[in-house]
Structures are given as structure tokens and as C-alpha cells.
Amino acid sequence: MVTQSEIESIVKFEEADPHRVLGPKGSAPGGDQYASVRAYLPRARTAWLEVRGGDKVEMRRVAGSGFFEGGPVGREYKLGYEDGSGHTIVRSDPYSFPPTLGETDLYLMGEGKYYGAFDKMGAHLTSVGGVPGVSFAVWAPNARSVAVVGGFNHWTVGENPMRSMGSSGVWELFVPGLEEGEVYKYAIKNRDTGEVKQKADPYAFAMEVRPRTGSVVADLEKHAWSDRGWMEEERKEQLARPMSIYEVHAASWKRSEGGRPLTYGELARELVPYVKGMGFTHVELMPVMEHPLDDSWGYQVGSYFAPTSRHGTPAEFMAFVDECHKNGVGVILDWVPAHFPKDDYSLGLFDGTHLYEHADPRLGVHPDWGTYIFNYGRNEVRSFLVSNALFWLEKYHADGLRMDAVASMLYLDYSRKDGEWLPNRNGGRESLEAVAFLRETADVVHSRSPGAVLIAEESTAWPGVTAPSGAGGLGFDLKWNMGWMHDTLDYFSKDPLYRKHHHNQLTFSLWYAFSERFVLVLSHDEVVYGKGSMLSKMPGDEWQKFANLRLFYGYMFAHPGKKLLFMGDEAGQAGEWDFRGAADLEGGGRLRDGLRRFVRDLNRAYMEEEPLHALDFQEGGFEWLDFQDYKNSVISFVRKGRGGGMVMVVCNMTPVPRHGYRIGVPRRGRYEEILNSDAEAYGGSGVGNLGGADSEPTPMHGRADSLALTLPPLGVLYLRVPRR
């Protein structure tokens, strides 16, 4: 017989092992029946056990509570009850099933090596013993008790208590009969105070549309992928190929006629052909992981395993990625393991303690953003984050992750004053735990997802960001070149009259261009918060602004490193980015049409001319012709390919056309002009070299031969160097 203390442990939501109290108990004489079945049905008027053939065994209410007991009953039975509204419910008994996690899962979780945690943790549509339903698993080691609540139990706390899996801190329960689309949360009882809070599932595959915060059961296997060739071939070679990345905020790239953000399906139909038509090789999405606040642009993630429901379902996002790959466009996702918001439904104080974050605010609270910082030294937190990186690469076929705010992870004193931070065990300012986490992430990703790229937004001089972890580096594949971005933007924002005094800002980046594998970026951060659009940063009248911008992009695409432009930059958008609106991508007349045409042709040249990308990370791929003509603000250099091909690049940073401008060249012969930013088709004045120029045996710049070129005003020239 059930004891009063057992009943109270369930009714008062105190039981850590509800399967000990609930479900089938003992064997009746003969061994083919259970002696009794216990159930907690707080909403039931009456209850019974239903066996094959429709026979019913009445269950009796125990001690006037919602606790019922009945039997004996056959091994195959279901629970039946009538609720307070007169509805009849018949279902399998959740407490008749074995655990859905094994010892290996729990061991790996505790060791911080549970890289496939998303396969078991969270909510999974599955079958146990041939019975379909949903298995739930959550990590809450300091909770007194945990239950899953949702529409299926009318959000009744304690009706479906979960089973503690011992010292692992994991709680699990299989609930039969649940289907995709079920909304749920975890009710977690504080061990010390007894307070119960409802928390979203950290491993949820889908979430309700804001401002609702429920987790949603989702089927990640329903999309039939068609990109096998891409995953096995193109993705594995992407780092060795041209990378021209189009950075996009999905909610504000374009809006529907009613002003709402586009769905994933609409983005597949409109964004993908646009990116392909403009010649970009990749689209980089600002965080699509579910986030509660639009104003955060996605950088304060509330649910790490769920694509935002603002645009649709997980299957629809998969279809978007698939469509990108069908069109030869790679997909990079922004990823934010640096911090997370304090929203009460989310990760913070998850089981009533500082579980995912540090307890000490000098380690656990970000001073700039008012967010929590992950505790990278905790094994289960590392499992959560590393498995999350793999999740987007494996389940959603992303081609890479751009890790946000890496500098804030690396330094314990980041944005902190003296006394506001704690040194590491060696007395230093480096976060040893974050460094170990970054290296582990890189090693696991490169081992399990060959070809996937990891990109660091790291704004300091931390050494070896893109060096292998085994050589003391962090293991990233690429690093945003923030130094180049700041220096070059500052240079191009100056009146050409004064550029000669700042010539070193243009040339300094080549001193360190090969110290890391860099991406040259003109990101969203440069066109927001009053900084204006890229076009508005350029000096001069309207014509000069567009000429400057074409020159800037031409210089950028010739400079060693991969490339990134933010949406709207390619179209000469006049105003700065507003996440509440939409990018201004169309119209604008001759100059804007010309800029878009120039960016398309720039991408094509970058793709087709092997010297412009083949040796991006090697000093042998770049050679100055002349960088000393600061008086005229002219620079010239060559980019070299693997097979001896070269492209010569000349930039005139002033609005003065220069005729007969002589530059020493590496080879004799005909130099074909393959791109001129001042062409009339781009909105320029049409000054150029009529398709090319022939070298002359006139020594210049330490070379036996030279070219006499016409340099267009505020223009860049690409010339194909003759083969030997």
C-alpha cells in the first residue's frame, strides 16, 4: 500500500524519484499482471485503468487527494480519467517507461564532453516500447524537484514530475501521446526556498513567438535535405576559395507590404536570388537563435537551439539553408557564447542557483550589456555550448559560425575598472577557462564538421587567434580585421585634400596582414548609433561620395583577406541602418544603379581572377609596386596567384585625374584593364586607359619597365599582368 509520506511527496511536489511512487507496482499472482498502479491526476473526477479489449479497472482516490491507485491489471494498460470539465482522457502511463538517457550520456555530460547533447537533452519526438510520445531531459542539479508543464496537463505544476538521474543533475521523463507543436516549460522548485519557477527548455528546438516564452516540441527530421553534394564537396573547400560575405539582419533586410519581417520561405525566394545575383559567395545572418528583444538584434540569445519563430518554423529555416546551397551560396550564422540575458524565463538562475553563469558578479555579469557571462569552467556548461555549435553545423547545415564578442570572453577585466574584476589563478587578466573553451570548440568543430569555418570577432591584439590550438592558438579559421576597418574608414572619411597627411592609415595594415587569416569587414556596427551609412561617411558632393565609395570597395576587394559587406552598403543607402525598418536596396538613379553594378562586377572579378584570392593568407600573394607617393595619395601593388598570374591594382585617392602617371611593373607586355571604378556604367566620368596599356622600357620604382597610366579621379584600376 502507498504510504502517506509517499503521497505527500508527490502532491507537495517534493519527490525526486516519482517513478518510485507512481506507475505499476509489484506482481499479482501468476506474474502476468501488476499488483497495482498509482497515478497522480489532480484534475481528475474519476479514474480507471483500461486494458486491451476495453475492460476497465476502477481506481480509487487515496486520502481525498488527486492521488489514485488501482489494480491488479494486465501488463498492457492505459490510464483513463474524466477531468473537471467532463472531458475523458485515455493515455499510456508516463511512469511505466524506463529512462531515456543511459549511463554514457550522463557520464559525458559530467565530463563536459557531451558534444551530441542535443540528441537527448531537451524535448524529442520518439517512441519507447512502440509507444510514441516526447522524451524530456533537463539539467537542474540544485533543484528540489522538477516537472514538465504544458497545455497537455493544463500547466498544472506537479502533475508530471520528472525523475532525477542521480548525481548527474539531469532530470528526465517520457510523456506518451504528445506530438509536434506542444508548448511546454519546466517547473523547477528551489531547493532552499521552495519557490517554483517555470523555465523555458535550454535545449528547446523551437519557441513561441515573442512575447510568449514557451518552448515548443519540434521535429527536426521532417525536412528532406537536397544539399549532399554541397556538404561533401563545396563546404570542405570554402576556406581555400573566394569568400565575399553579405551580412544580413533577417528582420530588416526587407519587409512585407504590411510591414512585418519576411518569413524563412520569403527570404528563400527573395534574399537568396538577390545574394546570388550580386555575386556574393556567402550570406551571414545576424543571430537567428531565439531572442526576447528585437532591440538586441539577436545578440542576447534566450534559447540557443531554436531558430527564431519571428520568421517561421525550424523546418522552414532548414529549407532556407537548403535553398542557399542549391544556389551556390554558403550560410554563416552569428553565434553568441559570450553572454546571455537575465530574462526570468531563460538560463539565468536556472535551478535557483547560478548554474550557467558565475555567482560572483565580477565574473558573471557583463558591465556593458547587463547580461550574464557563461561559466566556461563548468563541464556541463561547456557541453551545452560546444554541442550548440555543432548543432547548427550538423542539424541546420550551416557552413560556419561567426563568434561574437570574443574579446569580452578572453579578458577578465574587459570594460571593468580596478576592483571590479578577479584575476586568474596566475594573477593575470586572461580568462583561462574561456581560452580552453574556445580551443575545445575549435578542435571539436574541425574534427566533427570538416570544412566548417569558425570566425572570431576579436578586436584586440591577442596572438594566434587563427593559429591551431595545438600550437598555442585559439583555433579559429578567420578573424575579423578590426584594425583595417577602423584605419581605412577613418582615412576614407577625410577630405581628399588632407589624405596625404594620413597615408600611413592606408598602408599600415600590410605590416600585419598575414599575422592572422583575416576577413575585411564593413559590418552593421559601422552604420548604426549615429555613425551614418557608408555613403554618408564619404566626403564631397554626391558624385564624389559615390566615387569614394566605389574606390573604397575596390581597394578592399584587392587587399588580402576575405570580404564582408553589410546589407545596404552595396546599394549606396543614404540613411544608417534601422532594425525596425528595411534596407534601401533599390532605385536612387544613375549613381546608385552604378554602385550596385560595380559591386556585382567587383564580386565577379574577385571570383574569376585567381590572384585576387588564391594566396590571401600568404605574404607571397602580395607585393607593393609603390606605397610612398603620399603627396599624390596614390598607391599601387600586385596580387599574385599560384600559377604565376598577377593582377595589378592602382588607387588614386584624390578627385584629380592623373595623366601619364608612371608606375614600375613586374613584367613587360600588354596590361589589360579589367576593372575601372570610374567607368560611365558605374556612374563615373569615364576616365581610363581605353582597355589597357603597354609597358615601356623606362625604369621606375626599381624596375626595368613601367606603365604610363591615366588614373581616374577617386578611382581604382585592376589590370591583368601579362604572362611570361
Total H helices, total E strands in the chain? 16, 37
Please report, for residues 53, 203, 247, 452, 571, the alpha-carbon distance to residue 287 in angstroms, rounded to integers and kept in the order given.
53, 17, 11, 17, 23
The catalytic position among 404, 458, 609, 616 is 404
Give Cβ neighbours of residue 157 (< 8 Å, ≥ 6 apart).
13, 147, 149, 187, 196, 198
Identify whether 234 is a catalytic site residue: no
Task: Give the integer Cα–Cα distance in Å for 173 and 134.
Answer: 8
User: Grid coordinates standing for 213?
Assistant: 516564452
The CA-CA-CA angle for residues 383, 387, 388, to 5°, reads: 115
The catalytic position among 323, 380, 399, 457 is 457
Closest residue by Cα to residue 644 from 555, 705, 701, 722: 722
* Cα within 13 Å of Cα(53), Cβ side: 5
For residue 469, give the DSSP letter: G
Is residue 298 within 8 Å of residue 306, measured between CB atoms?
no
Sign of CA dihedral 95, 96, 98, 101: negative
Long-range contacts of 373-379 (CB under 8 A, 24+ apart): 373/338, 373/339, 374/337, 374/338, 374/339, 374/340, 375/433, 376/409, 376/431, 376/433, 376/434, 376/436, 376/437, 377/433, 378/112, 379/109, 379/110, 379/111, 379/112
Give the containing element (helix H, strand E) for 207: strand 206-207
Please report, for residues 31, 45, 47, 48, 88, the alpha-carbon distance to residue 59 in angstroms, rounded to integers and kept in the order given.
21, 11, 5, 5, 15
The residue behind cell 506530438 is 179
Burial class (CB in 10 A: 0-12, 13-18, 19+), 443: middle
Sign of CA dihedral 654, 657, 661, 666: positive
Please report, for residues 218, 552, 593, 594, 694, the alpha-carbon distance to residue 588 in angstroms, rounded to integers and kept in the order given.
44, 20, 7, 10, 38
Please report, for residues 10, 99, 697, the alpha-carbon distance to residue 623 in angstroms, rounded to integers and kept in the order given.
75, 64, 20
Is residue 123 within 8 Å of residue 133, measured between CB atoms?
no
Give the containing element (helix H, strand E) for 387: helix 379-394
Closest residue by Cα to residue 327 from 279, 264, 379: 279
Task: Give the integer Cα–Cα distance in Å for 436 and 181.
Answer: 38
Cis peptide before 211 (omega within 30 of 0): yes
Task: Give the integer Cα–Cα distance in Å for 366 and 683.
Answer: 47
Identify whether 83 is a catalytic site residue: no
Active site residues: 404, 457
